[in-house]
Amino acid sequence: MRAGGAAYAAPNAPPVVPASCVNVPDARPEVESLQAYSAPLEGRRGMLRLDFNENTVGPSPQVVEALRAIPAEQIAVYPEYDGLREAFIANLLAQHPGQHSAGAPPAHPLQPEQIGLFNGVDAAIHAIFHAYGDRGDTLLTTSPTFGYYSPCARMQGMAIEAIPYRLPDFAFPLEEIRAALLEPVGTTSAQGPPRLLLICNPNNPTGTRLAPQPILELAAAAPHTLVVVDELYEAFSGDSVLPLADFAATPNLVVLRSLAKTAGLAGLRMGFAIGAAPVIDRIGRVTGPYDINSFAVTAAHAALADQAFTDAYVAEVKRARRWLLEQLQAAGVRHHAAGGNYLLLWPDLPPEQVEDRLRQAGILVRSMAGKPLIEGSLRVSIGTCAQMERFWQAYRSVTTG
Ligand SMILES: Cc1ncc(COP(=O)(O)O)c(C=O)c1O
């Protein structure tokens, strides 16, 4: 049953018995103690969606056109992935020309076997934990960060060491991460270094940015730890390790990219893992052969071919962000903004109340209740200038009116 949906019972069918009342076979102990990872994703259409950091204008018209042109035959055959890795590499090269001097080949050219294709970056994260995280291993990460890393660690039976960002400005706790990585103590000492280090850069939800060099140094210093850099929001104002990464020298480094937030394909699911070929191969071993459907493949080709659309959207988000920051500063609203297409603000009223009132005005934002260090804040995704003007007007009216 989908979250929020209704259970379907056929006429005259025996009553549905809740699973908790019958003897069902036990799942693995780690799964028995796990709560399904669920986000409030229902009933969002038609609203101004500033709650999931999605693209707020939709994909390139070329994506829509390509999807409309899909022949019926494509629906009946299993998806084909030929050429998608190459298209992704070409798109990366166009985005990071600084990686090589004009006309010269890149310092560390990527090969197709260094690109893993996934049903969204969520699926890549899940596969990484499935392939590398064993019972008793440690996940080292930061706190607060993207909410899907912890359940993935728990379902593998891993221990989690989450180092808090540094107040007051949520700076990256580099020294603490380095110490936990290189001189593990307590639970990790028996097993050696952490199995996985997850760095969300820029971090969701604090926006914290970390320069590429320290990440590369961490990876080089900890060859037995898989260092995963989640660069989902890098395009909006971030710092990618890709232009500098040499996966031959640091084969324990993996970078994650998605077409969800920039290119507007969140509903179709398309994510990429970039790394050393043997690592990408191992992560790919725990996925199904056709996990990405052919509509996503068609859309990805079209989106990658229209980088100008994505660039224009990213530029608009940056303009809107500057404008909103000016308003927040002028109005004296406590806020925090760094990288990514989102910011945190702390309303004077209870955040849930503001969230509810904004929802009544047709605007969705995300309360950060329960998240360490940022309790009492709302995370607001940045859309276009017009959308942020609408948000700001509504926010002023629900918090002062
Ligand atoms: C940091 C981070 N990583 C990964 C994801 C998931 O990305 P995708 O939609 O490609 O699965 C999200 C989505 O919110 C995210 O914020």
pLDDT digits (tens, 9 = 90+) for 312-324: 999 999 999 999 9
* Beta-strand relationship, 196-200 and 138-143: parallel
Could you read off the pLDDT of 81-106 as tens digits, one per residue? 999 999 999 999 988 765 444 455 66
- The helix-helix angle for 84-95 and 307-331 (nearest 10°) equals 50
Sketch out the chain's domains with CATH numbers: 48-58+308-400 (3.90.1150.10), 61-306 (3.40.640.10)
Could you read off the pLDDT of 131-166 as tens digits, one per residue? 999 999 999 999 999 999 999 999 999 999 999 999
Strand partners, 364: 49
**CB within 6 Å of ligand 1 — which residues?**
52-53, 120-122, 146, 200, 204, 230, 232, 258, 260, 266, 271
Q: From start to end of 67-128, where are the E strands?
A: 115-118
| Ligand 1 pocket test target in 232, 287, 291 with most atoms within 8 Å of CB | 232
CB contact at 8 A, 60 and 309: yes
pLDDT at res. 304: 98
Taking the CA of residue 125 as reference, the ligand 1 atom at the shortest distance is 4
Q: Tokens 């949906």 appear where?
A: 5
pLDDT at res. 16: 56
